[in-house]
Amino acid sequence: MVDAHQTFVIVGGGLAGAKAAETLRAEGFTGRVILICDERDHPYERPPLSKGYLLGKEERDSVFVHEPSWYARKDIELHLGQPAVHLDPVARTVRLGDGTLIAYDKLLLATGAEPRRLDIPGTGLAGVHHLRRLAHAERLRGVLTSLGRDNGHLVIAGAGWIGLEVAAAARSYGAEVTVVEPEPTPLYHVLGPELGAMFTDLHREHGVRFHFGARFNEIVGQDGMVLAVRTDDGEEHPAHDVLAAIGAAPRTALAEQAGLALVDRFDGGGIAVDASLRTSDPHIYAAGDVAAAEHPYLDTRLRVEHWANALNGGPAAARAMLGRPVSHDRVPYFFSDQYDVGMEYSGYAPPGSYDQVVCRGDVGKREFIAFWLAEGRPLAAMNVNIWDVAEPLQQLIRAGRPLDADTLADPEVPLESLLP
């Protein structure tokens, strides 16, 4: 039975929002829980959109966080297909697109991010795609099937995680793939040149063409359809379809309109929150891709656009809304699957923060662990086709102790023996 003495509103129907609603009920909250989703689909997880679902290995229903009937059983009020268009932190109200006004006692912004757009001629042509939502993945899955059947060509802007995972999926369907990337290797700003080259080799072995050191300059079409992509170095690549995979921007419009503190886009953007995920307004919290949180362990403000952050951030925000003591200090984590290579990355090692990369295992066989070190201290680690090591790797990172590089590189030395 719902007790309407308090109303907690969650804006955003992704993983963070759904897990926050689940946690509120699991922690015994008996007030109203209202979940506002601007998509018509029930809350779903995003990793399958570029992995199992896009590859045709998972069914559509597998992406949803909960089955549809779960929300009614938990007395969670769902507003599907209704964007929140105005937030009044003084009156503590949210107005929906249909004019509905909802009052709240506590509010969670889990509005996520949206794909960055190409600012060049030709983006309005049929055949130009983005991948962020379930509808995008459904459309792209059909496109890749057709391209594979007809020996069609997909040109991708960006060699980040989404660009590479879609490239792998496209090749699995038999499509021709070219990836255009301004940096000298894939994932340059995440893995650096030391490990980015491994992904170049992996994809080239599967027939992907790379064009490094260039950006899209124009998408050329005829009769409204894509014909080719021109790059700023004068090259032209034939194309039937194009994917823009140049990153995502946090959806902060609602927070900005309400006057909440934001982080400058050059510092990663997002809604500024403390370690308990509370914004500059004591009644409003933020979690998931949109939240730029003070990280107690890393001693920096960090916005993380990955599944684990939404999975854990939503529940952390829910507990903070309930007045529980919260310090959201998990080691950042993400994973990727491409062809027969699976990897997990833990930690945070932006360019310029490390002075050495050490590997244990066989990089050539793509069975290894890489460590990014600063004065011997592990800042981040990536395990490639080696499993059940994420926990000790994260413990090593959290310990922050200098380690001998030769010992770290020795596969005969158990990781657990390096822990304090």
For the chain, what is the total number of helices (H) and then of strands (E)?
10, 26
* Its pTM surpasses 0.85: yes
Of the residues 201, 226, 246, the one at which a domain ends: 246
Kindly state whether residues 234 and 290 are assigned to the same domain. no
Q: Are 373 and 354 in contact (CB under 8 A)?
A: yes
pLDDT of the residue at 193: 84
d(CA 310, CA 263): 19
Kindly state whether residues 219 and 366 are assigned to the same domain. no
Q: Which two tokens stand for residue 71?
A: 């929300």
Taking only the tens place, the pLDDT of each residue in 142-185 is: 999 999 999 999 999 999 999 999 999 999 999 999 999 999 99
d(CA 91, CA 79): 21
Residue 266 confidence class, pLDDT cut points 50, 70, 90: confident
Residue 1 confidence class, pLDDT cut points 50, 70, 90: low
Considering only the C-alpha atoms of the chain, give the largest distance between any 2 of them, rounded to a whole number of Å.
66
pLDDT of the residue at 146: 96
Kindly state whether residues 202 and 290 are assigned to the same domain. no
Residue 254 confidence class, pLDDT cut points 50, 70, 90: very high
Please check whether residue 180 lies inside any domain of the structure.
Answer: yes
d(CA 385, CA 66): 30
Taking only the tens place, the pLDDT of each residue in 124-153 is: 999 999 999 999 999 999 999 999 999 999
Query: Using CB atoms within 10 A of its CB, is residue 403 exposed (0-12), middle (13-18) or buried (19+)?
Result: middle
Quote the domain boundaries for residue 142.
128-246
* CATH code of the domain in which 408 resides: 3.30.390.30
Kindly state whether residues 360 and 308 are assigned to the same domain. no
Q: What would the mean pLDDT of 397-411 be, rounded to a whole number? A: 95
**CB within 8 Å of 26: residues ≥ 6 apart:** none
Residue 297 confidence class, pLDDT cut points 50, 70, 90: confident
Kindly state whether residues 141 and 225 are assigned to the same domain. yes
pLDDT of the residue at 352: 87
pLDDT of the residue at 182: 98
pLDDT of the residue at 2: 64
Kindly state whether residues 234 and 271 are assigned to the same domain. no
Please check whether residue 63 lies inside any domain of the structure.
Answer: yes
Taking only the tens place, the pLDDT of each residue in 330-351 is: 999 999 999 999 999 999 998 8
Taking only the tens place, the pLDDT of each residue in 224-243 is: 999 999 999 999 999 999 99
The residue with tokens 């929140």 is 84
Please check whether residue 334 lies inside any domain of the structure.
Answer: no
pLDDT of the residue at 376: 96
pLDDT of the residue at 199: 96
3-class DSSP assignment, residue 227: strand
Q: Could you give the number of structural domains in the chain?
A: 3
Please check whether residue 89 lies inside any domain of the structure.
Answer: yes
